[in-house]
Amino acid sequence: MHFTVAKSIALPYSILAVNLENGQTWVSKEPLTFDPKPGDEVRVMHGLLGSYSMVVGRSRLVKATRIN
């Protein structure tokens, strides 16, 4: 699934909440070392046992959870 970043929110321990243009909010379960900008591409992939991973821009793959 491909989406576009509307807004990102930095949380403690380099965890990010990413609001997407379609209204979904995803939170990384692992630290990300950069702050995504509005308009950056986000890819969300379904993993094993109901888990999800996301790639924001050119970052590495991180585990993620949808909260909205």
| Domains in the chain: boundaries | 2-66
Q: Where are the beta strands (DSSP E) in the chain?
A: 2-11, 15-20, 25-28, 41-46, 52-56, 62-66
Q: Above 90 in pLDDT, residue 15?
A: yes
CA distance 29 to 54: 10
The pTM for the full model equals: 0.89
At 17-59, the pLDDT tens digits run 999 999 999 999 999 888 888 999 999 999 999 999 999 888 8
